[in-house]
Amino acid sequence: MSAQINAPYKPQNHIRIVTAASLFDGHDAAINIMRRVMQASGAEIIHLGHNRSVAEVVDCAIQEDAQAIAMTSYQGGHVEYLKYMYDLLKEKGAGHIKIFGGGGGTILPSEIEELHAHGITRIYHPDDGRAMGLQGMINDVLQRCDFSTYRKKGVQVPVMPDGEEEEQQPVFDDLQALAKALPHKNPLHIGRLISVAENYPEEYLIVKQEILQRKEAHNGPH
């Protein structure tokens, strides 16, 4: 089957993706190509390079309020690595962050099925590349990530590819609650408020004054 020729997908939301090669893995040629195509297609990419631990990648994705993580793994430990990544995201309250991966022929079809069953969003096999083409795979990633991490009340959540459940989308509608939680220094809350300030300035103005007042109260009189 020949690869399809696809025009780049045009995101409706600001998409932020963290990319890296897994721990003990120096094979970063593929992810370097993929991230450049994702960037050219309109996504913001935070690239961590190669030999990155699960904790490093997860912490970065939470701090950057990313919609997804895209990993390359040729070191043979992909099943354990990606399962742990999924579990750690859930543990930190960031289960909405999607995980994509690839590793050429080192990731067997049976392992791909196992990872998908565990909750990994999509693992791409060489057969996918032949069928979809490079841009086709990138379009698939971006379409699955095309949602806002901040949801306004009353705004309907778009239907995701393959019928992904709405519950997988983040629900942080209460900006006041986020602002009040800032003293706890939760990276998820801080990253979310920064994203709101960047993408929804009119919404951020609602809580900006409260944040400044809390800062002044915390600092005390000079």
Extents of the domains making up the chain: 16-145, 175-219
- Looking at domain 16-145, which of 3.40.50.720, 3.40.50.280, 3.30.1120.80, 3.30.360.10 is its CATH number? 3.40.50.280
Q: How many CB atoms sit inside 10 A of residue 44's CB?
A: 14
Q: Is 97 left (phi over 0), alpha (psi -120 to 50) or beta?
A: beta
C-alpha torsion 52→56→62→63, nearest 10: -110
Average confidence (pLDDT) over 157-169: 49
Q: Which two tokens stand for residue 215?
A: 């800062």
User: 64 with 46: CB under 8 angstroms?
Assistant: yes
Q: Name every residue whose Cβ is closer than 8 Å to that of residue 42 and which is 6 or more positions away in sequence.
A: 8, 9, 10, 11, 15, 142
**Residue whose C-alpha is closest to residue 73's, from 31, 134, 135:** 31
d(CA 38, CA 9): 10
Q: How far is CA 203 from the centre of its chain?
A: 23
Phi/psi for 57 (5° steps) reads -70, -45
Amino acid identity of residue 111, one-letter, is E
Give pTM, 2 decimals. 0.85
Cα(103)–Cα(107) distance, integer angstroms: 6
Helices (H), 95-186: 109-118, 126-145, 175-181
Distance CA 133, CA 45 (A): 21
pLDDT tens-place string over residues 134-151: 999 999 999 999 999 987
* 145 to 140, 149, 211: CA distances (angstroms): 9, 10, 30
Q: 8-30, pLDDT tens digit by residue?
A: 999 999 999 999 999 878 788 88
Distance CA(91)–CA(104), nearest Å, equals 29
pLDDT in tens, 102-118: 988 899 999 999 999 99
Q: Which residues pair with 22 in a beta bridge?
A: 52
Within 8 A by CB and 6+ apart from 77, the residues are 22, 23, 24
| Tens of pLDDT, residues 170-187 | 444 578 888 888 888 899
Asked whether the CA dihedral 153, 156, 157, 163 is positive or negative, the reply is positive
Give the pLDDT confidence score for residue 166 in this predicted structure.
45
